[in-house]
């Protein structure tokens, strides 16, 4: 068979031209970022900023006008129940007239009545704490025998712990009431005609630490003037102001993570109370916002946060919903499509438009209810020019 050399050369040249034209006209692969579908935990959270505070904080004030001696205690010093905090020396003052003396006696009677009420509250709280503790023990025994759900036993333990705290708080209130009676008695004693020059000692109603000093050097003080502030750091909690739109989604007992408190590991807590009333606050950009105070109880052991003080800044992360061992994908890969949701799944070197249905979203992740499987690669942050079947190349 004879082949014309010239025709063969023309055919080869034409084929080369066709190949070059095909290469020029062939669409280039679009450069994209990718993510992988895997299994893990997906949580929907609300983040807000708060600060620590003591549940029971006591301001020791001067019951009468006097000369306060120089304070020897420093902020952070540990104190015991009954320890002398401030010593007040008498000043030259006239004795109480009949009306003032009657008022002082009425205040003493009111203080004694408050002491009686505080004692009864303390006894009732102690009885309730004992009952809740016994109930928690019964529930734990039943849970070990699988006669009740574990959640019931945990709720009983939480109730018992709260009962113990309420009983301790009631004892503190009783001690404060007793202190008020002593202060009222001192007013009458010092205001009577038989007043002496004895110094008045103000003692600690509870054990704790010194939080603040309102004065340092010796000086005259007026009746009702705050002198020193004390509290028990074991009763620390966190007050968080959240948007009212987020506050309606919070519930008592909800889990909370406390972040950026000074250490890398988060502290654990739970919502103790959501205030029923809100307040107006202006953001850094001058936007008027309605916010609500939420009280968070720290559940991590005290040994994990020994240096966390009162009025320290803390970030709170409220866990609204949590799905464990869920099929999840980067939330940036999901977009709205025809009234639903979809992703671009990378199939070899092509992007395939794939409808999906999502569930819980949070932390940059989205739960995939249907449409994908573990190991699928997706295009994250897809641009508007990306279409189904288009060639892609991962960065």
CB atoms under 10 Å from CB of 71, counted, come to 18
> Do 184 and 308 have their domain in common?
no
- Final residue before a domain boundary, out of 292, 322, 352: 322
In the chain, the percentage of residues whose pLDDT exceeds 90 is 41
| Confidence band, pLDDT 50/70/90 cuts, at residue 128 | confident
Query: Is 83 found in the same domain as 212?
Result: yes
Residue 14 lies in a domain: no
Q: Which has more confidence, 291 or 98?
A: 291
Mean pLDDT to the nearest integer, 136-145: 79
- Angle 98-144/150-191 helices, nearest 10 degrees? 160
Residue 74 backbone phi and psi in degrees, to 5? -110, 150
| pLDDT tens digits along 299-355 | 999 888 888 888 899 999 999 998 999 999 999 999 998 889 999 999 888 899 999
The average pLDDT across 30-50 equals 91
Do residues 155 and 76 share a domain? no
CA nearest 230: which of 69, 67, 70, 86?
86
**What are the C-alpha distances in Å from 370 to residues 116, 224, 341, 367?**
64, 67, 11, 9
Structure tokens at 141: 């025994």
Asked if 119 and 188 sit in the same domain, the reply is yes
Mark whether 254 and 309 lie in a shared domain.
yes
In a 3-state reduction of DSSP, which class is residue 235? helix
What's the number of domains the chain is made of? 4
Q: Which residue has the higher pLDDT, 44 or 146?
A: 44
154 belongs to a structural domain: yes
- Asked whether residue 50 carries a pLDDT value surpassing 90, the answer given is yes
Give the residue from 279, 304, 322 where a domain finishes.
322
Q: Are residues 317 and 328 in the same domain?
A: no
User: 322, 344, 360 — which closes off a domain?
Assistant: 322
Q: Do 34 and 219 contact (CB within 8 A), yes or no?
A: no
What domain range is 78 assigned to?
A: 57-90+203-231
Same domain, 184 and 253: no
**Higher local confidence (pLDDT), 86 or 180:** 86
Full-model pTM = 0.59
Confidence check: pLDDT of 115 > 70: yes
User: In terms of domains, do 306 and 383 share one?
Assistant: no
Tell me, yes or no, whether 6 lies in a domain. Answer: no
Residues 273 and 310 reside in one and the same domain: yes
CATH of the domain at 283: 2.40.30.170
pLDDT per residue as tens digits for the range 189-243: 765 544 455 788 999 988 888 989 999 999 999 999 999 999 888 788 999 999 9
């Amino acid at each position: 068979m004879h082949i014309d050399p010239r025709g063969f050369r023309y055919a080869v040249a034409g084929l080369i031209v066709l190949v070059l034209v095909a290469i020029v006209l062939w669409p280039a692969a679009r450069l994209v970022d990718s993510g992988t579908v895997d299994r893990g935990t997906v949580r929907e959270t609300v983040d807000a900023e708060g600060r620590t505070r003591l549940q029971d904080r006591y301001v020791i004030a001067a019951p009468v006008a006097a000369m306060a001696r120089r304070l020897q205690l420093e902020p952070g010093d540990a104190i015991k129940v009954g320890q002398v905090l401030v010593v007040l020396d008498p000043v030259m003052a006239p004795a109480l007239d009949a009306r003032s003396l009657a008022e002082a006696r009425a205040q003493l009677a009111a203080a004694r009545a408050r002491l009686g009420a505080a004692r009864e509250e303390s006894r009732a709280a102690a009885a309730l704490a004992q009952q809740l503790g016994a109930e928690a023990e019964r529930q734990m025994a039943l849970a070990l025998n699988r006669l009740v759900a574990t959640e019931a036993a945990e709720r009983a333990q939480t109730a018992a712990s709260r009962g113990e705290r309420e009983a301790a708080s009631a004892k503190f209130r009783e001690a404060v009431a007793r202190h008020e009676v002593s202060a009222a008695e001192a007013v009458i004693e010092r205001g009577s005609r038989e007043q002496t020059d004895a110094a008045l000692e103000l003692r600690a109603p509870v054990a704790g630490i010194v939080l603040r000093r309102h004065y340092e050097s010796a000086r005259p003080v007026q009746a009702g003037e705050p002198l020193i502030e004390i509290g028990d750091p074991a009763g620390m909690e966190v007050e968080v102001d959240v948007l009212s739109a987020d506050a309606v989604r919070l519930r008592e007992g909800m889990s909370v993570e406390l972040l950026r408190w000074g250490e890398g590991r988060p502290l654990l807590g739970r919502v103790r109370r959501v205030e029923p009333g809100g307040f107006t606050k202006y953001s850094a950009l001058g936007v008027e916002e309605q916010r609500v105070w939420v009280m968070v109880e720290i559940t991590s052991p005290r040994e994990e946060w020994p240096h966390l003080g009162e009025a320290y800044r803390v970030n709170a992360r409220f866990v609204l919903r949590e799905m464990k061992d869920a099929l999840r994908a980067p939330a940036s890969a999901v977009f709205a499509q025809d009234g639903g949701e979809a992703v671009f799944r990378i199939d070899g070197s092509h992007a395939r438009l794939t409808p999906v249905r999502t569930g819980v979203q949070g932390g940059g992740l989205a739960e995939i209810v249907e449409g994908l499987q573990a190991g699928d690669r997706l295009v994250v942050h897809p641009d508007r020019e990306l279409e189904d079947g288009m060639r892609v190349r991962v960065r």
